[in-house]
Structures are given as C-alpha cells and as structure tokens.
Amino acid sequence: MNARKIREDLGRAKTSCQRNDLSRAIYLTISAFRELGGQNAPTDLRGDFRTTLAALASDPQYKKECGQALAYQPGKERELLALLINVYKELRGQEDQEDYETTLQRKLNLDRCLKDGKLFLKQGKPSEADTCFAEALKYYKNEYAAFAVMARAMLEAGEYVRALGHVRRGLKVRPEDAELRHLAEECLRLRAQAGR
C-alpha cells in the first residue's frame, strides 16, 4: 500500500469534482481504494477518504445520476469500492452511447468549423481561422485527425507558430501520432528558416 499515491489520487479526485469531471473523480477514488489492497484504510488516511467521498456525494451530476448515499465508514472500504465501480460503469456507459443523430450533428458542426477556418486562411485572416478552429474543438470527441487538419491548414498559410499550437494540442491527446510529429518538425524547420 502506497499512502502517498492514495493521497495524490484522492486530491486529484477532489480537483476533478471541482472541474465537473465526475467520471475522472470516481476513477481516481476507485484507484485509491484499490491501492489499499483490500485492507481497511489506516487512521491517517481516513480523513482524506471522508472529504473526497463528501465531494463526490455533493456533486450535482452524482446526485442526478446516482443518488445513492456516499459516506466513508471505516471497515466498509470494500463495499464502497464495489459501489463506485458500478457507478463508474454506468457513467461510462452513458458517455459512450451517443445517439446517431447527436453524433451526426456534432460531426457536421466539426466539419463546418474546419471548412470555415480554411476559408478564412485563404482570405488571409488567420485570427478568424483560429476562432473557427477553437470552435471546432467544442465538437471534437475522438476525431484525432482534426488536429492535423488544422495544423496543416495553418502551415500551408505560413502561420507556423499557430500551426505548432494545434500540433501540440493534438500531441497531448495522441503523443504517438506520427503525422503530428512530422508536422511539428516541419513547423519548427520552417519557423527557423523564416527567422533567418
């Protein structure tokens, strides 16, 4: 059992609650309970569990979706872990089931924003293009190619610094993406040439 990791996970879970990211908060709390290895929480960690579970229980989404009472009681760690795993599975199932109409509309909006951004770049308006690309990310779910599309459009318009920004955002989501890595190298090379 790693007490430091448990404290870190519980602290991150509380932060996730504050950021309205309930599924991440529950995931981190589950991780903390698992780190106990089936044992009861030591006395010095009980306060951490208590405050994190109180934050989860007071989360509006938790109240709406689950409504089950959630309070820490020493000796009930296994029951709480099982409860949180079930809640997490329910939340993930709801998140993963985006209906067809919603998906279609979201993708159409994403495409429209990307298209508008490219149009602004052709007109020599990179700031307006950036605004369109920022809006596109509101409709982004797992369309990883969008980052490369935005970066390539900026790169072709000679906006190397802006292109690099889109590449970096994409690499945060998919660090292994070969196309984004290639675009990053290209942006840096062209920026260095332009700086000469």
Q: Give the tens place of pLDDT for each residue, 144-160.
A: 888 989 999 998 888 88
pLDDT surpassing 90 at residue 51: no
- Last residue within a domain, chosen from 96, 126, 152: 96
Q: State the helix-helix crossing angle for 77-96 and 22-35, rounded to 10 degrees.
A: 150
Q: State the helix-helix crossing angle for 43-58 and 22-35, rounded to 10 degrees.
A: 160
* 88 shares its domain with 131: no
* 74 shares its domain with 125: no
Task: Return the CATH number at 123.
Answer: 1.25.40.10
* 122 shares its domain with 73: no
For the chain, what is the radius of gyration of the CA atoms? 22
Average pLDDT over residues 164-178: 88
- Last residue within a domain, chosen from 63, 96, 129: 96
Tens digit of each residue's pLDDT (9 = 90 or more) over 9-49: 888 888 888 877 878 888 888 888 888 877 777 788 888 88
* CA 17 remoteness from chain centre: 13
- Last residue within a domain, chosen from 80, 96, 112: 96
* 70 shares its domain with 105: no
Tell me the residue range of the domain where 90 lies: 3-96
* 43 shares its domain with 124: no
* 82 shares its domain with 104: no
* 191 shares its domain with 104: yes
pLDDT surpassing 70 at residue 97: no
Q: Domain total for the chain? A: 2
Query: Residue 120's pLDDT is what?
Result: 93
pTM of the model: 0.49
pLDDT surpassing 60 at residue 166: yes
Tokens of 99: 């209906």
* 35 shares its domain with 80: yes
Nearest to 74 by CA among 103, 100, 51, 42: 42
* 80 shares its domain with 27: yes
